[in-house]
Amino acid sequence: MGCTGNLTREAPQRTGPALARPQGRATPCRRDRGQREQALAQLGRDDDARRAADLILHDTRSDKLALSGPLLEHGDCHTENIVRDEHGAYRWIDWQEAHLGDGFGDLIFLWQRAEFDGADPPREAMTVAYTAARHLHLKPILRRALSLTELRLLFISWPPFLPYGTPENQQRMKEQLPRLIDTLS
C-alpha cells in the first residue's frame, strides 16, 4: 500500500463547472500585474476597488494573529481536496498552497468556492462550529477579522480565477465586494 493508504475521493455535488487554475498553476500573487489589474476591474466599480484597497491596507493582520495565534493553513480548501479514509473520516489533500496564517482564510475560501459554484454554505453555523473547535470566542473583533479576510481573498486572490466561471458565478462574486465594504466601513 502506498503513502495514500486507502484514501478515496468522493465525487462532489457540483452545480457549476470546476474552477480551473490559470495555466502554469501560478498563484494570484505571482500573476502578471496587468492581468491582475484587469481582473480587479471585474469585481466592481472603481470606488469599490479603492475602498476595498484602503480597508485591506489598514487591516492589521497581527491583531488577527494575536486573536488566535499562527497556524498552518491549507490554502486551497474546497470539496475536491477532501477525501475519506478507510474509517470514513474526511482528510484534506493537495497541500502545495499551505502556509502559516491565522486559519480564517481556509474557512472563508471554502465558503467562497462553494458560493462560486452556486452553493449556499451555512456560514453562521460553520463560523460557530469553527470558533468553538478552536476555542475562540465569537466577538465583534473576530467577526471583523473574518470579514477582512473575506475581503482580502475576494479582492486579491479571486480576480485571476473569475474568467473561469460562468457569468452567473462571476456575478455572485462581484456582488460580495460592496456587501463587505459596507460591513467593514
Return the pLDDT at 127.
93
Contact 134, 101 (CB under 8 A): no
- State pTM to two decimals: 0.70
Mean pLDDT along residues 161-170: 89
Per-domain residue ranges for the chain? 37-184
Q: Which residue has the cell 475536491?
A: 80
Instruction: Give me the amino acid identity at 60.
Output: T
Q: Where are the beta strands (DSSP E) in 30-151?
A: 71-73, 82-84, 90-92, 99-101
Return the pLDDT at 156.
81
Return the pLDDT at 7.
46
Q: Where are the beta strands (DSSP E) in the chain?
A: 71-73, 82-84, 90-92, 99-101
Q: What is the pLDDT of residues 140-161, one digit of tens each?
A: 888 888 888 898 888 888 888 8
Higher pLDDT, 3 or 159: 159
The string over 83-99, giving b where at least 16 C-beta atoms fall within 10 Å of a residue's C-beta and e elsewhere, is beeeeeeeeeeeeeeee
Centre a 10 Å sphere on the Cβ of residue 40 and count the other Cβ atoms it contains: 20
CA 77 to chain centre: 7
The string over 147-180, giving b where at least 16 C-beta atoms fall within 10 Å of a residue's C-beta and e elsewhere, is bbbbbbbbbbbbbbbbeebeeebbebbbebbbeb
What's the fold here for domain 37-184?
Aminoglycoside 3'-phosphotransferase; Chain: A, domain 2 (3.90.1200)
Return the pLDDT at 135.
87
